[in-house]
Structure 1
Amino acid sequence: MSVLDAPRGLHNVVVTSTSIGDVRGDEGFYHYRQYSAIDIAESRTFEDAWFLMVEGRLPNLSERAEFSRTVAPLRVLSAQVREAVASVAATGPEQPLLALRTVLSGMPGAVPLYESTEADKRATALRLCAVTPTVLAAVHRLRSGQEPIEPRQDLTTAQNWLFMISGDVPSDAHARAVDRYLTATIDHGFNASTFTARVVASTGSDIASAVCAAIGAFAGPLHGGAPDRALDGLDQIADLADADSWARTKITAGERIMGFGHPVYRTEDPRSVMLRETAQQLGGELIDKAAQVEKVIAAALADLKPDRKLYANVEYYAGVLMELCGIPRSMFTPTFACSRIVGWCANIVEQSADSKIIRPIARYDGPEAPQALPAL
């Protein structure tokens, strides 16, 4: 058997084919199916992009309305799930994503993918995607000493998310800003969590198990985003005049500046550009400061790391946008998960059509074997 050494981290290794989307890092472009993801985020809605992931095409107005009517009742938690949420909120993992993973792992109906019909897969995926924001918002409120808020059937995903967190129906501007963020982060190539979901799906396991595995990967500090930590960095810069020295100190110390750099993009992150413009439409001192600090940090990185092209990534302005819309910092990454689960489920369903299990090998570099067993 021939063996092929892959680069560390499987960098630029093609492992399968997908019709869901792609990232073209050198161009600063990514797409869902045949459409620019940014075009969808700016001109359509999260529900439209969700429909595209499920159906493979964008909906017309009547199809959007029907899809919204289908999803709305799926957001409501059953009595069994409510009990699980209450238990996890009281005694479960502190990190909201891990609390979500615990709840979803106990959801009923864990049917192996190879035993599920296409209709069953679609129904299960829709239910998991719809219920995720409700679970996360309920855990947050319970841990804040507040009662969970029921989702409203007349509100969109973005509106419901803000409503279930705060108890107030959001302004159109805030709802539209969050809708753009959710739409722009549904899918982004074969990132670690998406690949993890597909590995589990390739075994024939159930959709919930694959989603829970993806959540575990997503919760890792190197993957799930750091919009709260990027914002923490902004907090550390009390005055714009301090930004350059702050950045240079971190760079020369070998510390990572959260919210800058991306493993794929060699240009500006298109999500960051869109979110910056969206946040600027909301206005305020925070976005003004963030835009000015971005320029200073980018200049310092270009000066001290001239061999690398490092720009603000999606996390930088995601944190700013969510802060402006009143989302607590502890819920920044969970907001990301409310979107990305749609992409995970699309990839899980697509992978389930391939009967070949994903089974790479590792190169052993331990002690020489076999060796005699030591005497007792």
Structure 2
Amino acid sequence: MAITIDRNDTQLIDVPRGLTNVVVAETAIGDVRGEEGFFHYRGVSGVELAAEARFEDAWNLVALGGLPRDGAESAAFRARTASARAIPESLHGSLSSIATSALDPMAQLRTGLALISSADGRRALYDETETERSDDAIRLAAVAPTLIAALHRWSTGQDPIEPDGDLDPVTDYLRMLTGVTPDIRLATALGTYLTAAIDHGFNASTFTARVIASTGADLASCVGGALGALSGPLHGGAPARTLDMLDDIGAPERADAWVRERVQHGGRIMGFGHAVYRTEDPRSRLLRGVAQRLRADGLATDRVDLAVTVEQTVLRVLDELKPGRALRTNVELYAAVVMEACGIPRELFTPTFASARLIGWGAHACEQVQDGKILRPSSRYVGAASRPR
């Protein structure tokens, strides 16, 4: 680690590119252990929660600090989140115009959440009580699926469907999106994915949310910045591109030649590699099983079989051509296959991911603002020499 002195005699410390392995804050929300292939929410295994499709329990855990202690607490949390799902009717005109604009779905979601937050009269986190901040976080996470579904339906010339508080949020999202109450197995499959997507360490979008929160800004601004980061193809934009890859390969017998060509020419293979994991992404293993069960039940196509073949081929070819390289399957490969089986349009893969990650962003923003210290790193100037006036 190099140490230099700037022109103000202030000590500067060089850190690795991308802030790799640099601790920038303390958190009680969750952790990712890359060498172990393990992640948790407040000490509870994320994989175990997801495997049981306990989406609302995981939401309760991340947002409020603990799992429900009994049925009454579970019911109270469901009622609290259900009452926060509705879009203000006064915004329908503005939102329907946004839905038919040239904005992509992620930009529409950012804009829509900002409008809803403003209509709700939400204030800067700096000026709110802890209870008000918690209400903000639950409101934005609860209304996001309703907003995603409504924007999509407006964009396709359909009327939006009002949320149904008697349904769990995952089932209701699919119903509002497709117009049909889904098969319970599809809702469970999507619930598994969304539970596993709630939080995952200080990734780019979560860190962005915390940086904005450190300024005391309103929560919609925090998650708006996070949504911008998530839209990037190297972050949350990957699942849709994973399906593009499977489309390009087309058939299992073409996988070997396609993968070899990419590896030999240094091309990127979507759905593989992770910034933290040095072993198999546990979310990928989990969702592979989910996808294969949907396939066995006749609820998914042979896209699942192709994804499994591509995964096996990529790992085999990498071991052959790039021995020792720690590049394994990440969550995007099977997340894309599962979302497609659930009837979610490809352009809504990243917004759907965001609808779960909003829970984590809200918790992180609320935690960061309590610190009271603005995040303000330094830089090293490497341009032309400065000249006196």
Q: Same fold (TM over 0.5)?
A: yes
Once the 2 structures are TM-superposed, how far is the Cα of residue 92 of structure 1 from its aligned partner?
5.1
Q: Which residue of 2 aligns with 1:354?
A: 371
Once the 2 structures are TM-superposed, how far is the Cα of residue 129 of structure 1 from its aligned partner?
0.7
Please give the secondary structure, in 2, of the residue aligned with 1:22: strand
The one-letter code of the counterpart of 1:99 is: Q
User: Which one of the candidate residues 66, 85, 88 is aligned to 2:76?
Assistant: 66
Q: Which residue of 1 aligns with 2:85?
A: 75
- Asked whether the equivalents of residues 53 and 191 of structure 2 are also in contact (C-alpha less than 8 Å), the reply is no
Q: Does 1:264 align with 2:276?
A: yes
The one-letter code of the counterpart of 2:259 is: A
- Asked whether the equivalents of residues 284 and 331 of structure 2 are also in contact (C-alpha less than 8 Å), the reply is yes
Once the 2 structures are TM-superposed, how far is the Cα of residue 263 of structure 1 from its aligned partner?
1.1
Please give the secondary structure, in 1, of the residue aligned with 2:13: coil
User: Which one of the candidate residues 80, 89, 113 is aligned to 1:104?
Assistant: 113
In 2: Cα distance, 1:288 partner to 1:254 partner: 26
Please give the secondary structure, in 1, of the residue aligned with 2:357: helix
In 1: Cα distance, 2:172 partner to 2:321 partner: 44
User: Which one of the candidate residues 229, 234, 240 is aligned to 1:222?
Assistant: 234
- Asked whether the equivalents of residues 76 and 134 of structure 1 are also in contact (C-alpha less than 8 Å), the reply is yes
In 2: Cα distance, 1:57 partner to 1:87 partner: 40
Once the 2 structures are TM-superposed, how far is the Cα of residue 371 of structure 1 from its aligned partner?
4.6
Q: Which residue of 2 aligns with 1:24?
A: 33
Q: Which residue of 2 aligns with 1:9?
A: 18
- After superposition, the Cα gap between the structure-2 partners of 1:3 and 1:161, relative to the gap in structure 1 and judged at 3 Å, is same
Q: Does 1:285 align with 2:302?
A: yes
Q: Does 1:370 align with 2:387?
A: yes
- Tell me the C-alpha RMSD between the 2 structures: 1.2
- Asked whether the equivalents of residues 90 and 143 of structure 1 are also in contact (C-alpha less than 8 Å), the reply is yes
Q: Does 1:308 align with 2:320?
A: no
Q: Which residue of 2 aligns with 1:296?
A: 313
User: Which one of the candidate residues 157, 167, 170 is aligned to 1:158?
Assistant: 170
List 4+ stretches of structure 1 deviating above 6 A.
none
In 1: Cα distance, 2:190 partner to 2:174 partner: 9
User: Which one of the candidate residues 87, 91, 100 is aligned to 1:90?
Assistant: 100
Please give the secondary structure, in 1, of the residue aligned with 2:94: helix
In 1: Cα distance, 2:198 partner to 2:285 partner: 17
In 1: Cα distance, 2:155 partner to 2:323 partner: 46
The TM-score with structure 2 as length reference comes to 0.93
Please give the secondary structure, in 1, of the residue aligned with 2:32: strand
- Asked whether the equivalents of residues 186 and 342 of structure 1 are also in contact (C-alpha less than 8 Å), the reply is yes
- Asked whether the equivalents of residues 302 and 310 of structure 1 are also in contact (C-alpha less than 8 Å), the reply is no
The one-letter code of the counterpart of 1:349 is: C
Equivalent residues in 2 for 1:148-297, closer than 5 Å:
148-283=160-295, 284-297=301-314
In 2: Cα distance, 1:325 partner to 1:165 partner: 11
- After superposition, the Cα gap between the structure-2 partners of 1:371 and 1:300, relative to the gap in structure 1 and judged at 3 Å, is farther
- Asked whether the equivalents of residues 225 and 315 of structure 1 are also in contact (C-alpha less than 8 Å), the reply is no
1:151-170 deviations in whole A, cap 9, x for unaligned?
A: 11111111011111100000
Gapped regions of structure 1 (runs ≥ 5): none
- Asked whether the equivalents of residues 46 and 180 of structure 1 are also in contact (C-alpha less than 8 Å), the reply is yes
Gapped regions of structure 2 (runs ≥ 5): 1-9, 296-300
- Asked whether the equivalents of residues 205 and 226 of structure 2 are also in contact (C-alpha less than 8 Å), the reply is yes
- Asked whether the equivalents of residues 281 and 330 of structure 2 are also in contact (C-alpha less than 8 Å), the reply is yes
1:12-57 deviations in whole A, cap 9, x for unaligned?
A: 1000100000110011011100111001111251111110012211
In 1: Cα distance, 2:322 partner to 2:246 partner: 21
The TM-score with structure 1 as length reference comes to 0.96
- Asked whether the equivalents of residues 150 and 159 of structure 2 are also in contact (C-alpha less than 8 Å), the reply is yes
Once the 2 structures are TM-superposed, how far is the Cα of residue 289 of structure 1 from its aligned partner?
2.2
- Asked whether the equivalents of residues 271 and 313 of structure 1 are also in contact (C-alpha less than 8 Å), the reply is yes
Please give the secondary structure, in 1, of the residue aligned with 2:15: coil
In 2: Cα distance, 1:332 partner to 1:87 partner: 22
Q: Does 1:320 align with 2:329?
A: no
